[in-house]
Structure 1
Amino acid sequence: MGVIFPIETQGQKQVLGVAFTFSFLAVIAVSLRLISHKLARKEWIASDYFIIAACIFAVGLQSISITGVFQAGIGYDHVTTIAAKYGMEPITKLLKLIIPLQFLWVLSLSCTKISILSLYIRIFPIAWVKWVSWATMGVIIAWTIATILAGCLICRPFAFNWDQTIPGGSCGDQVSSFTVTGVINLVTDIIVLVTPMPRLYMLQMATYKKVTLITVFGLGLVTCIISAFRISVLSTMNFSDITYTLPRANIFSGIEPCLAVTLASIPMMRPLLGRSNYTPDITARRTSKASNPTAGSDDHDDNGFRELDDDSSQLSLRPLEGLKHKVRVAVRNRDRRNSAEDSERNNHGQKESGGISVKQEWAVQHGARK
């Protein structure tokens, strides 16, 4: 089984704490997302399958980090101290573990971003949003392949990654390679974050709903910040003293994919909250039961108004371009209605409901083809 390191240092505890906590958050977030789909009776789409894959890769990455703490000496002490006490076996094992760590990191982040972009393509029927999403997907796929190839080819022969005694072997600048891939990752993070913002800002909905929606979609800013911190931390890595210098870089590399999976799942959890009865766009005065004969009816609340069956969670994120929509709400007393009004409403096909009438008008302008 090899060496088992005692958990004594702060670095070891930090790596383990992050690994367990953020793995749990990612799994819970994806589970709640899928439960939300079940509650809303929605089928799984490509975005869901990609986020599930991203979660699996992220948890796999954290599992390797946990293994590295217990069996490879991550955060335990300097390489020279570990080698003198336990031999070179733990150091060799850690250098082997770094390779799948890098692969799982890039695979998890790429699947998360593709999941988000595929969702954009589905809910935003805007040509330029679709083009940006597809182009960004292409960049992400190319970045993923390049990162994996760099991890495989930076040391020749491949075994020189962990066995520095191989004659004629050599390695490129691994820290610089990690930094470059990190910078590209940050750029794509920013693109994914800002792509939907202009469309969200143009949506015709209540201000509080718009702000909430922009905030939810803007949670990816946290991932961008973590990504930037990771890039700065990577510069402190030293492969000649890898057990001592790896913990901070390992922590940020573990937080980023798990947090990305979690934040990407939050916008899809709306059905878990149920339907809100609060409608800020319409206010009404409380009426007495004397002035409202139906106030005591079971179908009405204390104000004498019937609750509208309006589930705003089903609204599509589609701005109305070239379409003018007017809604008029009128409150009438039953004793003031006259036969002429009733006749006019019946002629327009409006159903008499008593108390509140809603009239909606659409004005559509058709441009001539050139």
Structure 2
Amino acid sequence: MASSQGPAVAGITIAFAVMSSIVLGLRLFARIHVLKRMGVDDYLIIGACLLSWAFTAATVVAVQHGMGHHYSDVDTSDLSTYSLAVWLSSMFYLACLGFIKTSVCWFYTLLGDKFLTRLSILMMCILVAQAVSFVLTAAFQCTPIARAWDKTIPGHCVTINHFYLANAALNILTDILTYTLPIRVIFNLHMPSKQKIALAAILCLGLFACISSIIRITYIPSMLSSPDFTYAISGAMYWSAIEINIGILASSIPSFKALASRFLPRLIGEYSSNKNYGAWTSSGATRRYGTGFSKVREHGIKLQSRTERETVTDTQIGRNTSEERIIIPEGKIFAHTEIETNVEEMTANRIERAAFLFLTHGFIGLH
């Protein structure tokens, strides 16, 4: 038997599906256990992961029935099951991309910039329309539908080759548009060098998701024209798996900021509020964020009486402690009040969401 790419396709697809499972687990742990709050973008990524796993299952089934093998080595009785698995995987792939990019755009609307929010809403409308139209085209490419995987059934199909090429090109275009939306906001940021390095790393990861989509399109012409189609499809399939799972990883990075702030504060570094990194407010922004890359802490404020004539206000934030004596005039009544404020849960979600701009989001801590 000639060489086969089947094991490579299955191995790569499964490996990246496992990675996205771990990423989803960490994201849900951060949102449910640490922040105790879920957002619409989280539910969209859950949907994307489910579709990614479905794509993986369909790909493995296709490998078992001929994908990655040379056509001459494939049992023709398996071709119907192979074609059905490929047909299903195409819909799972297209829907998964729609969920990922819509989740990213929803995340942008939470960053507080009005101009970015308007662009994100417009982009979400485009993405939803694109995903729905692509999935429906893939699903109903043939009449009757079953002819898509069983060519012995009488009927006709659309010119699917043109559809796949147009689909791949439009996916790359919407990738670029989606991932570059926050550039105007990023230009207004003033960040220390450590945060800029983190931002560069995120940019590289996001760009890799775009690059994988570009690499995938180079395999499509040979996949569509080669008589050895069961073998030629291999590259496009495992690059599809890489693309969607890297997209899930990159879109989940903001959640890791909450985990690092809670459990590994030294990993991300701490900046005290007296450092002159300033804060930023982009034009039209409704929220204001500091640019310190700091751990979320509990802020305790207490007023206590030490003697009959004086009190001490002890305010502890992080490692800084200050004491102030308050003199009470003769004959005045002193009211002892204790106020303890825990702002971690109230602000952690906003800090985490502002911590990264996907693809172009950097670490942005709140002073």
Q: What is the aligned counterpart of 1:117 among 105, 123, 136?
A: 105
CA distance in 2, matches of 1:207, 1:213: 10
After TM superposition, list the pairs within 5 Å mapping 1:142-181 onto structure 2: 142-167=129-154, 169-181=155-167
Distance, in Å, in 2 between the alignment partners of 1:207 and 1:157 is: 59
Deviation sequence 1:125-149 (CA, Å, 0-9, x none): 1222011111111111111111122
- 1:234-290 deviation digits (Å, cap 9, x = unpaired): 111137533122111111122111111112112220122232384567999xxxxxx
Separation (CA, whole Å) in 2 of partners of 1:319 and 1:209? 18
The CA deviation at 1:77 is: 2.0
SS at structure 2 position matched to 1:107: helix
Question: 1:35 maps to what in 2?
Answer: 29
Counterpart pick for 2:79 among 77, 81, 91: 91
Q: Distance in 1 between matches of 2:222 and 2:280?
A: 44
Distance 2:47 2:15 in 1: 19
| Equivalent in 98, 105, 110 of residue 93 of structure 2 | 105
- For the residues of structure 1 that align with 2:273 and 2:117, how far apart are their CA atoms? 35
Give aligned-pair identity as a percent.
Answer: 22
Q: Does 1:73 align with 2:66?
A: yes
Specify whether residues 163 and 205 from structure 1 end up closer, same or farther in structure 2 by C-alpha distance, changes over 3 A only: closer
Residue in structure 1 matched with residue 239 of structure 2 by the alignment: 252
Cα distance in 1 for partners of 2:114, 2:284 equals: 13
Equivalent residue in structure 1 for 2:259, among 239, 264, 272: 272
Hey, what's the Cα distance between the residues in 2 that align with 1:245 and 1:177?
18
Counterpart Cα distance in 1 of 2:90 and 2:30: 32
Contact 2:6/2:67 (CA < 8 Å) preserved in 1?
Answer: yes
| Structure 2 CA distance for aligned equivalents of residues 116 and 270 of structure 1 | 16
In structure 1, the residue matched to 2:356 is: none
**Deviations along 1:19-51, whole A, 9 cap, x unmatched?**
111000000011111222245323011011000
Structure 1 residue 131 corresponds to structure 2 residue 123: no
The letter for the 2-side match of 1:216 is I
Contact 2:280 2:288 in 1 (8 A): no
Preserved CA contact (<8 Å) 1:200 1:317: no
Looking at structure 1, the residues matched to 280 and 102 of structure 2 have their Cα atoms a distance apart, in angstroms, of 19
Q: What CA distance in whole angstroms lies between the structure 2 residues aligned with 1:98 and 1:11? A: 16
Is this contact kept in 1: 2:113–2:284, CA < 8 A? no
**1:12 and 1:74 in contact (8 A); partners too:** yes
Distance 1:161 1:317 in 2: 54
1:39 touches 1:271 (CA, 8 Å); kept in 2?
A: no
Counterparts of residues 1-370 of structure 1 (less than 5 Å): 9-70=3-64, 72-78=65-71, 80-82=72-74, 86=75, 88-122=76-110, 124-167=111-154, 169-213=155-199, 215-216=201-202, 219-238=205-224, 240-273=227-260, 274-276=264-266, 278-279=269-270, 318-319=281-282
Query: Which has the larger Rg?
Result: 1
In 1, Cα distance between the equivalents of 2:315 and 2:17? 56
Q: Partners of 1:195 and 1:13 in 2: how far apart?
A: 38
> TM-score scaled by structure 1?
0.69
TM-superposed CA distance for 1:223, in Å, is 0.8
- AA aligned opposite 2:228: D
Task: State the Cα distance separating 1:163 from its structure 2 match.
Answer: 2.7
Task: Tell me the secondary structure at the aligned position of residue 222 of structure 2.
Answer: coil
Give RMSD over aligned pairs: 3.6
Instruction: Give per-residue Cα distances to partners, 1:149-193, cap 9 Å, x unaligned.
Output: 2113332332222232334x2333222211111111111111121
- Residue 218 of structure 1 and its aligned partner are, at CA, apart by 5.5
TM-score, length of structure 2 as denominator length: 0.70
The separation in 1 between residues aligned to 2:103 and 2:116, in whole angstroms, is 15
Aligned partners of 1:10 and 1:35: how far apart in 2? 40
> 2 CA distance for matches of 1:186 and 1:324?
33
Q: Which amino acid aligns with 1:153?
A: F
Letter in 2 for 1:48: D
What whole-Å deviation, never above 9, does each CA across 1:310-342 have from its counterpart, x for those lacking one?
xx9xx99854889999xxxxxxxxxxxxxxxxx
Q: CA deviation at 1:351?
A: 8.0
Q: How far apart in 2 are the matches of 1:218 and 1:11?
A: 28
- Residue 55 of structure 1 contacts residue 108 of structure 1 at CA under 8 Å; is this kept in 2? yes
Asked if structure 1 preserves the Cα contact closer than 8 Å seen for 2:70 and 2:228, the reply is no
**What amino acid does structure 1 have at the position aligned with 2:98?**
S
Kindly state the Cα deviation for residue 207 of structure 1 after the two structures are TM-superposed.
3.6
